[in-house]
Amino acid sequence: MTQARMTQAPALVRYSNPLVRRLLRLGTPMGPNTLLTVRGRRSGTPRSAPVAIAAIQGRLFVIGAYGDVNWVRNLRAAGDAELRLQGEQVHVEARELDPAAGEAFFGTTLPAFVRGLPLLGRLFVRVLFGLAAPEILHDPARAAAIHPVFELRHTP
């Protein structure tokens, strides 16, 4: 399956998600990872997925690193979600970046953010994206075409 048509996370991620979800629900710190809970687009049932949140200059972003997976489609349809941030449930509105904004995000915003991470964080990001989605680090136009990015804004 090519990344352009990727609609599910790699097997290792899918099989580890139940454990990661449990750990995050218990409040185990896992770096930028948190639970995103969004209504299912067909069932309306709340669905939780572990995601990594990039807090950049006071703004929150989440990247569909594995393409158009279920949580991405649910978030796109619902337009809002709940995040667990610093032990608190926070309601957020989600706005998907258009292709031009996505390309700018992958070309400028994300690289600057990664450069500001501690060494271990930079290495982790480079290994993760290098294996799963190398275009995120090297081809902003292609990354924007196949990896949705949402800006999340706190709402009361």
Residues 93-132 pLDDT 10s: 999 999 999 999 999 999 999 898 889 888 888 887 887 7
pTM over 0.75: yes
pLDDT at 10 over 60: no
Instruction: Return the pLDDT at 70.
Output: 92
Residue 155 backbone dihedrals phi, psi, to 5 degrees: -130, 155
pLDDT at 130: 80
How confident is the model at residue 103, as a pLDDT?
97
Task: Determine whether 57 is exposed, middle or buried from the number of CB atoms within 10 Å of its CB (0-12, 13-18, 19+).
Answer: exposed
3-154: CATH topology is: Pnp Oxidase; Chain A (2.30.110)
More confident residue, 124 or 139: 139
**54: which 2 tokens?**
């990039």
CA distance 119 to 100: 30
